């Protein structure tokens, strides 16, 4: 039993039964790789799709523009007889700089209507009008910042016979817009920068997750293959170890050596199987000892009865018995 203590496993000896251990482990590796490869491909496809969807959505985010200190150029319609007078009257307002002018085509306006200011679009559009004739915005609220002007006293001679269907007198308002202050410009810059940074961060985050999935997939594959490989070799070694030990005793028995059987190392598997082997070894050793005893009995009987002198056949038989007895005696190792 002393030989068993202190015996440790060596990595050099881990492949005790290469055909069994490698066959078992490599089969498991091949199957695991065969199952993981389609799963990995599917995960990769899903990750790519989800990433593309997320990136497309992020790309659609629109950040607000930075306010400009320079007012957009005024759009002035070409003078016409119908609105020239009004233009003159309003020229004094145009002196206040900077202002944005909005002109309304003469065939698309109504009399004395205030024009809604549109800070975004420099090109004028006819303002919406509510039931009372007040200008309203898209939500139906009254437009602020409008400029009401005095209607000029215009006299018109009407000749019924020659009177054309003329457009009504157009009143074109000029809408003033306050230029953004430096603080507002700075604030809009900060807001845009923050928005762009947020978009970039979202893109980085989504792309980072995609890279993480790819990395985890690769690591998982390596871990699975290494884990299965190492654990497979280790597990089969725990089976191959006791079998290797049993194999040594089997070789001894084959060579007619009935040695003492020692216990397994700690952590070895097949303990139950090994117990069966020990019992079997004890059984065949008992058979060997019984044969030895019977041979002794036969030789003793032959000597007592003087059988060797009775015939040459008996003498040869007794000699054979003595040879077998010597073999049996030598085969049983006494410790």
Partner 1 sequence: MSRNKHGRKISNYLIDKKLQLRYVVFVTALSAVICGTLGFLIWQQADVATNIIREQLADAPGMADEVIRSLKSEDQNLILTMVASGVGLVVVLSLLLVVMTHKVAGPLFKVTLYLDKMRDGRLDTVWPLRKGDMLQSFYKKFSAMHTSMKARHVETNETLKAFVSLAEAAGIEESGDQGHRLEELRKHCEQRTEALS
Footprint of partner 1 on 225-264 (CB under 8 A): 227-228, 231-232, 235, 239, 243, 246-247, 250-251, 253-256
- Interaction of residue 42 with partner 1, rule CB under 8 A: yes
**27 touching partner 1, by CB under 8 A:** yes
**Cis link prior to 98 (omega < 30° from 0)?**
yes
- Closer residue to partner 1, CB minimum distance, 195 or 314: 314
Nearer to partner 1, 175 or 233 (CB): 233
In the complex, the smallest distance separating the C-beta of residue 159 from partner 1, rounded to whole angstroms, is: 57
Cβ 252 to partner 1, closest distance in Å?
Answer: 9
DSSP string for residues in 122-154: SS--PPEE-TTS-EE-TTSPBPSS----PPP--
Report whether 195 contacts 65 (CB < 8 A).
no
Site for partner 1 in 283-302 (CB under 8 A): 283-284, 286-287, 290-291, 294-295, 297-298, 301-302
Which stretch in 20-28, 101-109, 122-130, 139-147 sits in contact with partner 1 by CB under 8 A? 20-28
Q: Output the smallest distance, CB 121 to partner 1, in A.
A: 21
**CB of 249 vs partner 1, minimal distance in Å:** 9
Token pair listed for 306? 């003087």
Q: Residue 233: count other Cβ atoms within 10 Å of its Cβ.
A: 18
List the one residue from 9, 14, 15, 32 that touches partner 1 (CB under 8 A).
32
Q: Can you point out the beta strands (E) in the chain?
A: 128-129, 135-136
3-state class (DSSP) for residue 305: helix
Binding test (CB under 8 A) with partner 1, winner from 15, 29, 43, 147 = 43
Return the range that interacts with partner 1 (CB under 8 A); candidates 29-37, 77-85, 120-128, 259-267. Answer: 29-37
Tell me: does residue 54 bind partner 1 (CB under 8 A): yes
Residue range at the interface with partner 1 (CB under 8 A); choices 4-12, 75-83, 163-171, 276-284? 276-284
Q: Which is nearer to partner 1, 163 or 216 (CB)?
A: 216
**Residue whose C-alpha is closest to residue 69's, from 162, 144, 145, 180:** 180
The first and second tokens of residue 16, run together, are 């005790």
Tell me the three state secondary structure of residue 163: coil
Q: Which two tokens stand for residue 101?
A: 């002018």
Count of residues touching partner 1 (by CB under 8 A): 88
E strand map for 63-193:
128-129, 135-136
Positions 64 through 93 that interact with partner 1 (CB under 8 A): none
Strands, DSSP E only, in 89-192?
128-129, 135-136
Within residues 181-210, the interface with partner 1 by CB under 8 A covers 202, 205-206, 209-210
SS3 142: strand
Establish if 212 lies at the interface with partner 1 (CB under 8 A).
Answer: yes
């Amino acid at each position: 039993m002393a030989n068993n203590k202190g015996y440790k496993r060596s990595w050099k000896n881990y492949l005790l039964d290469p055909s069994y251990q490698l066959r078992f482990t490599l089969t498991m590796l091949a199957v695991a790789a065969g199952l993981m490869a389609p799963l990995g491909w599917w995960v990769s496809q899903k990750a790519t799709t989800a990433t593309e969807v997320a990136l497309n959505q992020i790309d659609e985010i629109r950040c607000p523009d930075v306010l400009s200190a320079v007012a957009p150029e005024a759009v002035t319609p070409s003078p016409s007889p119908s609105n020239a007078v009004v233009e003159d009257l309003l020229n004094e307002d145009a002196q206040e700089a900077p202002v944005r002018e909005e002109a309304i085509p003469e065939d698309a306006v109504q009399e004395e209507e205030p024009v809604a200011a549109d800070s975004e679009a420099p090109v004028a559009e006819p303002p919406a009008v509510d039931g009372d004739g007040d200008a309203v915005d898209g939500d139906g609220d009254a437009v602020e910042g409008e400029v009401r002007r005095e209607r000029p006293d215009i006299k018109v001679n009407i000749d019924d016979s020659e009177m054309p269907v003329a457009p009504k007198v157009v009143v074109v308002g000029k809408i003033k817009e306050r230029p953004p202050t430096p603080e507002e410009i700075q604030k809009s810059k900060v807001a845009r920068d923050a928005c762009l940074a947020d978009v970039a961060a979202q893109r980085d985050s989504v792309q980072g997750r995609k890279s993480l999935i790819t990395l985890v997939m690769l690591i998982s594959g390596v871990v699975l293959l290494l884990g299965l490989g190492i654990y497979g070799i280790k597990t089969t070694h725990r089976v191959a170890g006791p079998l290797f030990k049993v194999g040594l005793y089997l070789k001894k028995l084959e060579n007619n050596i009935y040695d003492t059987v020692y216990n397994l190392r700690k952590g070895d598997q097949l303990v139950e199987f090994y117990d069966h082997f020990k019992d079997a070894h004890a059984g065949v050793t008992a058979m060997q000892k019984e044969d030895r005893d019977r041979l002794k009995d036969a030789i003793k009987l032959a000597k007592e009865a003087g059988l060797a002198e009775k015939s040459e056949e008996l003498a040869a038989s007794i000699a054979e018995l003595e040879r077998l007895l010597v073999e049996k005696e030598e085969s049983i190792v006494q410790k």
